[in-house]
Structures are given as C-alpha cells and as structure tokens.
A and B are shown apart, each in its own frame.
Chain A
C-alpha cells in the first residue's frame, strides 16, 4: 500500500456517479448524439478517478506534476465532459453547448481546446501509447505523477494497444494504469464474438502487466485499486473493469441499441427517476 492511500467516501462517490449519469442522459437527448451506453458504462471509473484518485487541480490544469487521465475511448466524451465540468475545469453551464455549432464540446474530445482534456481521442488505440509517452516523460523528469488510460473493450481490437502493452511492461512503467471498460459490447456486436478478447486479464498478464478483474461499478473498489500505483511489482497495472453498457438505467442496460440511440424526453424523465434524481 503506498503512502498516499486514502479510504474513499463510497456514499458520496455513488451519489456523484448517479448525478453524472443523469447529466449525460440529458446531454444525449438534447444533442441527439450517439454513445450513451458507452458513456454510462464508464462513469463509475471516471467518478472514482476524478473525485478520489487523481492528484489534480482544476485551477491549474497544466501543472507538470499533475496526474494524467486519458479517455482513450474518446466516443464516451459526454461522460468526460460531465466529469470535467462538475470537477471545476469549465462551467457546468457549458455542457448545454455539447455538440452544438461553435462550441468546444465536440462528440470526441478536442486537442488543445478544453481544459482538463489531456489528449484528443476518438480514433481507437491511441490513448495508451500517448499515456505511455507521458509516463516515460515523468520518469525522465523525475516527477512522481501517475498516468491512467481508460480503454473500451472494443478498443482492445487495435494492434497499437498491444504494441503499447508490450512496450510498457518492457519499460517497467509502474506509474501507469490501464482500465478496460469491459462492457462486453462494441459498436455493432458482442465484443467476444467480434475479436476474441477472453480471457482478457490473462492476456494483459501475459503481456507483462499486473492485471486484476474488478467490478467496474463498485466505485469504492475502483477508487481503492486505482490509487495503488506504484505497486512495487515493477509492472504497469491493468484493471479489467467488468461493466454493463447503459449502466444505471434499467431499459438501457446491456441493450446495444443505445450505442447509437438517443433517449426521448419521456425516457429522460424515466431515467432520472431511476437514478434517484427526481
């Protein structure tokens, strides 16, 4: 256990995750955009990261000693925007401009435009190598920051992910953590029926990583696990977070139609009720 370990306030984290889910459902309706299911499945990871794990200061978003979090699965931008705004990187009011003309909140996170976005993503398989570069820079510069990259399960289809996986373990980057949002779906099909990922934790282990399978909706466990870097093993850490696509809204859970569909006004109300927000 490292010196900075703190026990998370699980009730507060759960309440925050529910609030963010409600925000994202509204954003999706208002913008008629895609990727709601993917945004809901990773929100507990984002909540644990931004409200418990990361050493960050939204007032100083480019502090060279800050921890880095890269949303490699850039299509879940709604979840990242809701998180960053509520964490204080930019006004919550700006979330209304998501996917609107002339805004900063495009359907994938932009480069050098929005505070708190560490790397522009959207093309899959890019976030991990960029994060690795940041981790190597931290080592060269003798800074103690940590780097987190959140990948989708479908993203594990990309060869560049496995190039990075081999590189990071060869380099013994123990300041690096990958979280795989393993919701068992990709855009059009079950992930294991598209390219065989299973056994996913064993794959990461075989590539030289310290890998753990966890419940990706147990926000307390996510918060506890993510702050254990470096873990003394000399290996980067992969957390295979088992999640449910559309998590938190019963009629969206594990239904891949919500990869592309946006909710109606009635469905938004129903979702907010289920999330305990109404």
Chain B
C-alpha cells in the first residue's frame, strides 16, 4: 500500500500544483520521485506531528492541498487536537495518510499499534474516514479525496499486502462500498487491510457449503447506508471485520446505524481487536492468530454462529 501511495502521489502532484507532501521524518527514499519533481512541495516536517498538522491546515486555508504522512498513531492520536481544531473545524482539505494501521507494525509493539484511530477520527465533524482494502484502493482513495474539498483520513496497512483488485479502480467513490465476491448466505463487510483475510474466510466458508458475499467497505465515514440496508435485509448473517478495536470502529459504526435505522438484524457478528494492548512480540500474522482474526478463524466463528 505504501509504495502505491507514493507512486500515486507523485502522479497526482504532477497534475495538481496545489498538492504539498508533508512527512513526519519517515519514508526514506519513498518520496524521492515526488521530491525530485517538486522540491518546493515536499517538506520533511521532522518528528513534530502537531506542527506538521497545523502547517497542513494553514496550507489548506491558503488554497493548497496538503497531505500529511507518518506512522498511524503519530499522525492521528499524537496530533488529534490539531486534526480536530485546525483541519476539521475550519473544514479545509487536509488529507492525513497513515501507514501501519491496526497491527501492521505488530512487531514494533503497542506504541506503534493503531487500533483506536478510526474511533477517534470518525467522531470528528467534517472528517472523511477511509480504510482501503488493498493498494489499488489506496490509489483510488487518494485520487478521490484530492477531487473534493474536505478533510480526510486514509488509513493504510504497510507494504507488500496481497492485492485483491485486479487493476486500477475507475469507479471508486467515497462512501460507496465495493462488492468483491458475490454470495447468498452470509455477507462479510470488511474494512481496511483485513480484506485479504476476509476473502480467505469466504473461500473457507465456500468449502463448507456456505456462500459468502465479500464487500470492501473502504469508507467508514460516511457509511454506505444503502449497502447496509441491502446486507441486513438479504443475508442470514452479516459480519463486520476490521483490524481495529471493537470499541468505536467500523463495527461500532454499523451497530450504531442498525439502532438508528430501526433494523432487527437476524445475526450480526463483529470481528476486531479486544479492549486490551497486545504486548507479545511477533509479527502481524502472529498477532492476528492470537486475536482470532485470520481468515480461517473468522470462517470458523461464522460457522459456529450459523449452527
């Protein structure tokens, strides 16, 4: 996702002289092409994320299109007040792009885990919150936010995640989910970098005779309410899957919507991380397994719930 972001950013920067890239002293070599092409529009802001976000707001107030970038907790939680007050309250087009969402940087420990950012950012008025499912969705999301005039958050995994889409997404729309696989029994609503696991879960379910629809719910805010209406009316079980706390994330957003829309869901399951810090060493795959977020574990729990 990371390399796709840098590549798409360079391409967008070539076309739009308003685009300014602000990095929090990460991405060594990642932005070399952008920096070479637009040296005055690439700024390493150092390890000073509050200032970086305020600077981005000032740039946006002056007609520019700034993108801030660093590891998820540092460009979200670290400078949450600047996001809220400087960018969102002024309703200016600051785009926050984070790398290492959820447990992508599991091995770096809980300081670098990001399982609360969706909760924080979706509570802020005016904010758009997007968690792309693969590198193609990252590219499309970045392109889409640059075409509108609002503060936005794009939450990426890291580098090298499996691709789910086959190529460039021409019809990507903010707030409009994408059906990845069609099915008739259960509907799996995935957000962010869990998408490949969810596809795997669907395949495991198929092997057990359960037909699963897979939806990439890349936008957490605004929610694709039409798709939710459809999912809860057609399937005997709907599940939300995210690499984020069960408190306040995508699953919470859907649960809130269910109550407000007066829906009586047949069966509803939320997959996410628990209300606990994950302190053990190990990489993302290990952490997912421990937290029962692998494709097979997801499939097993769905089968249990259906039984």
Residue ranges of A at the interface with B (Cβ–Cβ < 8 Å): 64, 111-112, 118-120, 123, 125-126, 128-141, 159-160, 163-164, 166-167, 170-171
B55-113 residues at the A interface, CB under 8 angstroms:
55-64, 66, 81-82, 85-86, 89-91
Whether A129 contacts B55 in the complex (CB less than 8 A), given A137-B63, A140-B40, A167-B45, comes out as yes
Contact B51 A167 (CB under 8 A): yes
Picked from A128, A133, A141, the residue with its CB within 8 Å of the CB of B61 is: A133
Q: Does B269 sit within 8 A of A, measured CB to CB?
A: no
Q: Does B41 sit within 8 A of A, measured CB to CB?
A: yes
Which residues from chain A contact B64 at a C-beta distance below 8 Å? 137, 140-141
Q: Does B48 sit within 8 A of A, measured CB to CB?
A: yes
Whether A141 contacts B51 in the complex (CB less than 8 A), given A126-B85, A160-B82, A167-B46, comes out as no
A167 to B48, CA, bound (A): 9
Contact A111 B59 (CB under 8 A): no
Cβ of B49 to closest chain A Cβ, rounded Å: 8
Contact B54 A138 (CB under 8 A): no
Cβ of A63 to closest chain B Cβ, rounded Å: 12
Picked from B58, B81, B90, the residue with its CB within 8 Å of the CB of A112 is: B90
Known: A130-B57, A133-B62. 6 other contacts (CB 8 A): A129-B50, A132-B51, A132-B58, A136-B59, A137-B59, A137-B62
Picked from B55, B60, B61, B86, the residue with its CB within 8 Å of the CB of A167 is: B55
Please name the 7 residue pairs, one residue from A and one from B, whose CB atoms are nearest each other, closest first. Answer: A133-B58, A129-B54, A137-B62, A163-B51, A163-B48, A133-B55, A130-B58
Q: Mostly helix, strand, loop or mixed at chain A's interface?
A: helix
Closest B residue to A139 by CB, please name it.
B40
Which residues from chain A contact B4 at a C-beta distance below 8 Å? none
Which residues from chain A contact B59 at a C-beta distance below 8 Å? 133-134, 136-137
Closest A residue to B17 by CB, please name it.
A140
Which residues from chain B contact A131 at a C-beta distance below 8 Å? 58
Residue ranges of B at the interface with A (Cβ–Cβ < 8 Å): 20, 40-41, 43, 45-46, 48, 50-64, 66, 81-82, 85-86, 89-91
Contact B54 A166 (CB under 8 A): no
Whether A130 contacts B61 in the complex (CB less than 8 A), given A111-B91, A120-B89, comes out as yes
Picked from A133, A141, A164, the residue with its CB within 8 Å of the CB of B57 is: A133
Contact B89 A111 (CB under 8 A): yes
A170 to B55, CA, bound (A): 14
Which residues from chain B contact A160 at a C-beta distance below 8 Å? 50-51, 54, 82
Could you name 13 residue pairs across A and B whose Cβ atoms are closer than 8 Å? A118-B61, A119-B61, A126-B85, A129-B55, A130-B58, A131-B58, A133-B54, A133-B55, A135-B58, A136-B20, A136-B43, A137-B61, A160-B50
Contact A133 B66 (CB under 8 A): yes
Contact B63 A136 (CB under 8 A): no
Picked from A140, A163, A166, the residue with its CB within 8 Å of the CB of B41 is: A140
Q: Which of B41, B43, B46, B54 has the most CB of A within 10 A?
A: B54
Which residues from chain B contact A130 at a C-beta distance below 8 Å? 54-55, 57-58, 61, 86
Contact A134 B61 (CB under 8 A): yes
A24 to B60, CA, bound (A): 32
A138 to B63, CA, bound (A): 10
Contact A171 B51 (CB under 8 A): no
Picked from A132, A137, A170, the residue with its CB within 8 Å of the CB of B54 is: A132
Contact A164 B90 (CB under 8 A): no
Closest B residue to A164 by CB, please name it.
B51
